[in-house]
Amino acid sequence: MADKKYISKIAKGTDTLFIKDAEAWQEIADIKTQISGAMHWAGITTTELSDGSTTNPITIAGESYTAKAGDVVGYGELEFAWNGSKWQEFGSTGSLKALAFKDSASGDYTPAGTNAPSAVSFTGQASSAFVTGYNDDAVAPSKAADSFTPNTLPSFTEGAFTAASLGEGFYTPGTAPSFVEGAFSQGSLPSLGEATTGNFATEGETSSYNEATETLTFADASTSAAVTAQGAFSAGSLPSKAADTWSAGTMAAIDTTKFNGGSKAADTWSAGTQASFTEGAFSAGSPATLATANAVTAVGTGEAAAQVFTGTTDTVTVS
């Protein structure tokens, strides 16, 4: 078989064609026939076996037996399956105890647990009031301070004087004459657009074979470029010059309506105020008041001691 070479697929551009292998399909059919009964019981063997043993044939019922893939045999408390090259342990009854073969069982047990503590409430409290201090301290009589406001002297303020000023826009200086020469354009030279090219095969189709991947690949031959269309022709443009512009400017001007004359603010006179006197208010004060509280204000909660729990022996039946 070493001198044989196989093709499993053909590659052409982006397409891959897979080849149906008659030899492989026959081998698959043979494997399906062999595993149609994946596992079957062969019997109890007296041949010593362990996981990974390669002993074959073995002895069953005193006779020689050649195991096939999928055969299952028992040896002692163990079960083994032949995978085609060795025995593999997959079952055992050795770990089962006596209870596994009982229909019912019984035993003794002692219940366990604790009692939670319970709260105790107190009722029927009695209380009486007693003096704890003063709610408000006594306030002594008092008199507010007298107030006196003196008089003010007469005063005179002379009005301010504002000088004359020229308003905004009273004088306009005008603008000087100006001349702007038109811009010159040198035009452009004739031009020819870029040519369009296309690829043309110069040989034929090539193929290659990859033994590692069992692939036969077809590829296009090498190509070279040729001109298929010429670019557009442009005749260019002639030189040109824009028109000149002339401005005569404007004359200076004076606007007499924008002149503001001088002014003087009005004088002010104050005659002053007369002196005044206000006597302070009198407060007679207030007596102190007593504060009281109950002798017993609150009673907390109590907690009863935990109850002792003693379990008794009973019989549990399992079936």
User: What pLDDT, in 10s, does the model give residues 220-238?
Assistant: 766 666 656 666 767 677 7
Q: How far apart are CA 60 and CA 41, in angstroms?
A: 12
* Phi, psi values for residue 31, rounded to 5°: -65, -40
CA distance to 47, 74, 99, 177, per residue, from 94 (Å): 18, 12, 13, 124
Quick check: 1 pLDDT over 50?
A: no
Quick check: 169 pLDDT over 70?
A: no
Q: How far apart are CA 26 and CA 88, in angstroms?
A: 29
Q: How far apart are CA 317 and CA 103, in angstroms?
A: 11
Which sequence spans correspond to the domains of the chain? 17-102
pLDDT for the residue 301: 73
Quick check: 43 pLDDT over 50?
A: yes
Query: Does the predicted TM-score (pTM) go above 0.85?
Result: no
Residue 228 contacts by C-beta under 8 Å, 6 or more apart in sequence?
Answer: 196, 197, 198
Mean per-residue pLDDT for 84-89? Answer: 92
Quick check: 54 pLDDT over 90?
A: yes
Report the share of the chain in percent with pLDDT over 90. Answer: 11
* Phi, psi values for residue 230, rounded to 5°: -95, 150
Report the share of the chain in percent with pLDDT over 70. Answer: 65
Residue 301 Cα to chain centre, angstroms:
52
Quick check: 259 pLDDT over 80?
A: no
Q: How far apart are CA 54 and CA 31, in angstroms?
A: 22
218 or 96: which leads in pLDDT: 218
Q: How far apart are CA 64 and CA 45, in angstroms?
A: 10
Instruction: Share the mean pLDDT of the chain.
Output: 74
225 or 244: which leads in pLDDT: 244
